[in-house]
Amino acid sequence: MALRAVEEYKASLRDGRTVYVAGQRVDDVTTHPILSITTEHCGNIYRLALDPEWQDLFTGRSPDTGEVVNRHFLLPSTPQELALRGRMIEEHTRQGNSTLNLTKSVSGDALMGLTVVCHAMDPALGTRYSERVAAFLRHVRERDLSVALAQTDVKGDRRLRPHEQPDPDAYLRIVDRRADGIVVRGAKAHITSVPVVNELIVLPTRALSANDADYAVAFAIPVATPGLTIICRPTGSVEQSVFDYPVSRRNIETEALTVFDDVLVPWERVFMAGEWQFAGQLATSFATFHRFTAISYKPPIGDLLVGAAVMIAEANGTAEVAHVREKVVRLIHYTELIRACGKAAAYEATVVPPGIAVPNAVYTNAGKHHFASHFHEACRLVQDIAGGMAITAPCEADLRNPATGHFVAKYLKGAAGTDAVLRLRLFHLIRDLTASDFGGYNYVVTLHGEGSLSAQALATYREYDLERCRDLARRALGSA
Ligand SMILES: Cc1cc2nc3c(=O)[nH]c(=O)nc-3n(C[C@H](O)[C@H](O)[C@H](O)COP(=O)(O)OP(=O)(O)OC[C@H]3O[C@@H](n4cnc5c(N)ncnc54)[C@H](O)[C@@H]3O)c2cc1C
């Protein structure tokens, strides 16, 4: 069996990688106050794959060795397998208190994009990248590795193409080609879970022209590679109690500015080096797979918001009030439309050479755009139902202190028969999800993760069958 225990996963992260948090170099990411939370959260994927209750969903047989492997690295070849992948992503998010966990899914998305695009690029340009991509897929699958994905360049002036930037390193680029590999320089922004994974796949951000050939670069490297520096975002609630911060004290991802300071990438790990003609296709192909992952991981937070809204309404005595019920219904619609897009995207998938089921791009982008453009509103509905205590309630220490605890227990009571402590905990849950440091993170990751709103709008316009609609309009005109 090629499945690692969570302790093996953690041990593999103690490899001398260069990681910084809040200005301090981190010796061991598995024991660091912030990164240990991320490590535990990401470790859930390993726990679930070994749990007899979940093994069917989280594992399958390797096509190479026949061994049991994690399903994230079994590339779906039918709409049904794609739907199963979506269910798996939804389930591990739910089990992680609705916080996304990209340690395997995002690299699966990248490997699907690379497999499809290299299959087209190799015969067109005489390259042999497909073999390398397949070898890397076997490497991560048979060793049960965790892999992050770095696509987003820091991009400097957004109006300028890579070769036009005043600083040529604003997009990651090849600075040297040697007998043993390429040397790359630049930085990728916001890279999720990079401090707590084994490997990193790098892809181009955008379509490129011949002048940008050195920016057309894709590869994979171990995180401990010399020249790679990981500068993590700080996080706010690490000193707080789980009672006060029930999600963010246990379930967070960590993003990092990831700097490539003349990093050597051996040729066998290079998947694109100058083939600018296929950079746009690779960026788009990955984005479609990754947005399918996004619409699969998002329904659990919708469910959690619905649950929190209903429970706090019950605790406040407003559950039967018409406007409250109407707001709960809007939350349900918000969530179920995402879930419906995920199912439609899977079951309307197209199988493309060499046998990968590609999610329907219109449903995928519509689902992603819907959840990103209405998430703030969903949180507002929960805050509206909860009342101001969502941000002003006393904390656990006040409840435990004999001088104040009896006041908290007396004055936090809501509807008759409601447990004051449960009500207090619901306020903290809602604050943590929508109005804390982590709540702010949720707003922005929902908006920008997997690409900004305009990227999904662009993809929808490009992919939609407008001719079908024009035909209908022409018919209507003709019959007048
Ligand atoms: C929490 C989080 C996790 C992430 N994880 C990852 C990850 O693991 N790997 C990864 O590769 N990326 C990751 N991303 C990056 C994400 O895909 C980007 O944030 C997103 O693509 C937007 O890019 P940006 O942040 O540089 O913003 P910008 O590109 O600066 O966008 C800001 C605004 O400017 C607009 N804009 C920008 N350029 C133009 C232009 N030329 N023309 C018109 N409008 C323009 C955008 O549409 C948007 O409205 C993550 C982001 C977040 C927030």
Looking at the fold, whether 271 and 290 belong to one and the same domain comes out as no
**Between the CA of residue 251 and those of 84, 94, 259, what are the distances in Å?**
24, 11, 26
Q: What is the mean pLDDT of residues 183-192?
A: 98
Inform me whether the pLDDT recorded for 480 exceeds 60: no
Instruction: Give the residue whose CA is nearest to atom 25 of ligand 1.
Output: 448
Give start and end residues of each alpha helix (H) in 348-404: 361-386, 389-392, 396-400
In a domain, 476, yes or no: no
66: left (phi over 0), alpha (psi -120 to 50) or beta: left
Looking at the fold, whether 10 and 67 belong to one and the same domain comes out as yes
**pLDDT of the residue at 237:** 65
Looking at the fold, whether 105 and 248 belong to one and the same domain comes out as yes
pLDDT per residue as tens digits for the range 76-108: 999 999 999 999 999 999 999 999 999 999 999
433-448 as b/e, with b when 16 or more CB fall inside 10 Å?
bbbbbbbebbeebbee
Q: Percent of the chain beyond pLDDT 70?
A: 99
Range of the domain at 260: 6-276
Instruction: Give the residue whose CA is nearest to atom 36 of ligand 1.
Output: 158
Domain boundary, last residue among 223, 243, 276: 276
Total domains in the chain come to 2
Domain boundary, last residue among 276, 309, 336: 276
Looking at the fold, whether 258 and 384 belong to one and the same domain comes out as no
- Label the pairing between strands 18-21 and 228-232: parallel
Inform me whether the pLDDT recorded for 154 exceeds 70: yes
Looking at the fold, whether 317 and 240 belong to one and the same domain comes out as no
Closest CA to 223 of 135, 148, 324: 148
Looking at the fold, whether 346 and 444 belong to one and the same domain comes out as yes
Contact indicator for 235, 252 with CB cutoff of 8 Å: yes
Looking at the fold, whether 96 and 182 belong to one and the same domain comes out as yes
pLDDT per residue as tens digits for the range 307-331: 999 999 999 999 999 999 999 999 9
Contact indicator for 45, 103 with CB cutoff of 8 Å: yes
Contact indicator for 285, 113 with CB cutoff of 8 Å: yes
pLDDT per residue as tens digits for the range 193-244: 999 999 999 999 999 999 999 999 999 999 999 999 999 998 876 778 999 9
Instruction: Give the residue whose CA is nearest to atom 20 of ligand 1.
Output: 451
Which residues face 276 on adjacent strands? none
Domain boundary, last residue among 223, 241, 276: 276
Residues with CB under 6 A from ligand 1: 106, 149-152, 155, 158, 188-192, 255, 444-445, 448-452, 454
Domain containing 316 — which CATH number?
1.20.140.10
Band of pLDDT at residue 466, cut at 50, 70 and 90: very high
Looking at the fold, whether 81 and 191 belong to one and the same domain comes out as yes
CA–CA separation, 361 and 350 (whole Å): 10
Looking at the fold, whether 269 and 302 belong to one and the same domain comes out as no
**pLDDT of the residue at 112:** 98
Q: What is the mean pLDDT of residues 156-175?
A: 98
Mutation probe of ligand 1 site: the residue of 190, 205, 301, 458 with most atoms within 8 A of C-beta = 190
Inform me whether the pLDDT recorded for 129 exceeds 70: yes
Domain containing 97 — which CATH number?
2.40.110.10
Looking from the CA of residue 441, the nearest atom of ligand 1 is: 1
CA–CA separation, 71 and 108 (whole Å): 9
